[in-house]
Amino acid sequence: MKLEIKKYLYDIKESVDSIYEYLGDKRDFFEYQQNKLLRRGIERELEIIGEAINRILKLDSTIQIDNARAIVDTRNWVIHGYDKVDDVVIWGIISNHLPKLKIEIEKLLEE
Enzyme catalytic residues: 75, 80
Task: Determine if residue 66 is left, alpha or beta; phi over 0 gives left, psi from -120 to 50 gives alpha, anything else beta.
Answer: beta
Task: Determine if residue 5 is left, alpha or beta; phi over 0 gives left, psi from -120 to 50 gives alpha, anything else beta.
Answer: alpha
Let me know: does 103 contact 66? Beta carbons within 8 Å.
Answer: no
